[in-house]
Amino acid sequence: MQLFVIALWLLSGSAISRAQDSEYLISPNPVGLVVGGRQRLQVLDRQGRDVTSALWSIESGDGVIAVGVEYGDALVDPTEVAGASGPSYVAALAPGKGMVRATVDGREFTANVTVYPGPELPPGTVARSMPPLLEGARVRNQLQSRKVSEETPDLYVQEGTDKGSYIRAFYESGIQKWVWPSPREPLDLRLICGDNFGGAVVAIAVSGAFQTAALRHDGTERWRVSTAPWWAYTYTDGNLLYIVEDHPDVPVLTALDGETGERKVQIPLPTNLTQHVGYVPPPGMGAKCVPGSSVSRSGPSSHGSLFTDENDTVYLPINTLNATFDATGCAPELLISSLTAKLTVDSHLQLLSVNDNGETTWRTIRRQVQTVTWERPTEWLYPWGSPIPDGHGGALIPARGQLGSILDGKALLERGSVFRVNGDAVHEYHMPVLPPKDRKAWNMLLGEDDRGFFAGDRAIVAFNVLDGKILWVWRSQEPILMIGALVDGSVLVEIGDQPSRRVERVDAAGKSAGVVLKARTD
């Protein structure tokens, strides 16, 4: 199943996003089989509807492949065998290449089939590829469902163009079950996660408003509610969808009932506070002294991603940055000297936890108070990427540290860190790589034998979870995204962009171990 997921996501990009030039399409196409294998086929129209009236035949490859409906152990033509009916399959008879033909309303179109000797497909071979419904469409996201019955799809895929997206539901066999909404009327949406009922959660932007919806596994809407924009989420075993609603003034941690969409928990998050004393803001070279003046402004704090542990406790790292620009003692009406005016920065990284009863706990991870003159740089820290469990009842929290001027927000130096929080202990591990610019690319994985993997800017760091010891650093010349840690200590890494995008394995010693999958270019 995992190979199916990786292959679909990797290989359904622009390299094969040229939709078949027809009102209909065959799916899957192409197909890879070993001798003796079978693959179910279907014909879809451009709205993703199943066309059951297609007539199937062999275009080329007689003796290599056969096509028809199952009748006992054989595949037969249902127009020639009384009582034969049902979905159509292609069967692999002998090594080679073949093409199946589907005819609908007098129009013909084909799909390619490659048969290998077996007993397994060669490494890196794609067993099936599902073509996009629209010209220029590509896969934006995908996720595995929670299988609650045989009718539950195995995979949800967000597919779309620059005009919007739609969700397609597939079985592991590659057969599409449904599409929502109609590809002719796509939405500005994001496929977020699966729920505990076999369905999926999506975020939708409609006419400047933001909505969150849950889809049943049959493709109908379970619920839809209005929310503030959000990107951080986690779904608990207790059927709660936690999101951080990023209101412009005060962010709120919200728990939505997975079955009804009702708000069950709402926790306002702390805000940043900036104070200006002895002058009228903004601070800088042109600020004039105004004794007795005091102006305070608040804004949203920064937060990382949400995650849930094995006890259904939800965690959220949050950093508040409180700053005081103090020009007390300056000469009235004169320009303030940045060499004498004071700046105090209080950077407070905390971990909020919410248990399955809704009870909250705040834990300080790191707090740093700095007082300097205005022209001096200060350090600030904020959570970045996705925290993960440490395998010992604690958490690993990635953070991004910057040294620079808080006046203009420009960073002179950057660094990546991982904080391990376990019981009463907090340890900071410094990572010897720069943080990536893309938040999605800065992720972590937990491997076997207390081995953690940290993704930096075109680099991966393997480290010991218990003491932070760096085991190895692997670097790439192209953008990367870690997608899985294997039991042998290696890591699967997506590298590059289309058309050269591929999945490679980095072995347990930090060495490149070859391509696992690569994008099609034909």
Reported as a single tens digit per residue, the pLDDT across 225-270 is 999 999 999 999 999 999 999 999 999 999 999 999 999 999 999 9
- The verdict on whether omega for the bond into residue 117 sits within 30 degrees of 0, i.e. cis, is no
86-104 tens-digit pLDDT: 889 999 999 999 999 999 9
Cα–Cα distances in Å, from 54 out to 66, 88, 167, 219?
A: 16, 9, 24, 24
Ramachandran angles phi, psi of 111, nearest 5°: -135, 145
Residue 110 has pLDDT above 80, yes or no: yes
Residue 139 Cα distances to 8, 28, 285, 493, angstroms: 8, 15, 49, 18
| pLDDT at position 126 | 80
Q: What is the DSSP string of 100-125?
A: EEEEETTEEEEEEEEEE-SSSPPTT-
Q: Summarize pLDDT for 425-444 with one digit per residue, the tens.
A: 999 999 998 877 766 667 89
CA distances for 89 relative to 78, 102, 130, 217, 346, angstroms: 12, 12, 15, 25, 66
Band of the pLDDT at 82, cuts 50, 70, 90? low
Across the range 102-131, mean pLDDT stands at: 90
Mean pLDDT of 167-188: 95
Tokens of 178: 């449904």
Q: Average of pLDDT values for 394-412?
A: 84
pLDDT exceeds cutoff 80 at 496? yes
Residue 413's pLDDT is what?
Answer: 86
Q: Residue 4 above 70 pLDDT?
A: no
Q: Is 13 in contact with 501 (CB distance < 8 Å)?
A: yes
Q: Which residues lie below 8 Å from residue 3, measured CB to CB, with a gap of 6+?
A: none
Coil, strand or helix at 127: coil
User: For the residues 400-427, what does the mean pLDDT come to?
Assistant: 86
pLDDT digits (tens, 9 = 90+) for 183-216: 999 999 999 999 999 999 999 998 889 999 999 9
Given a cut of 60, whether residue 10 has pLDDT beyond it is no
Non-local (6+) Cβ contacts of 267 within 8 A are: 252, 253, 254, 352, 354, 360
**Among residues of the chain, what percentage have pLDDT more than 90?**
66
Does pLDDT of 2 surpass 80? no
Of 499 and 189, more confident: 189
Task: Please give the Cα distance from 68 to 71 (Å, whole number).
Answer: 9
Structure confidence by residue, pLDDT tens digits, 296-354: 999 999 999 999 988 899 999 999 999 999 999 999 989 988 888 999 999 999 999 99
3-class secondary-structure state, position 14: helix
Cβ(376)–Cβ(344) below 8 Å: no
In the predicted model, is pLDDT for residue 31 greater than 90? Answer: yes
The confidence score (pLDDT) of residue 15 equals 31
pLDDT at 518: 66
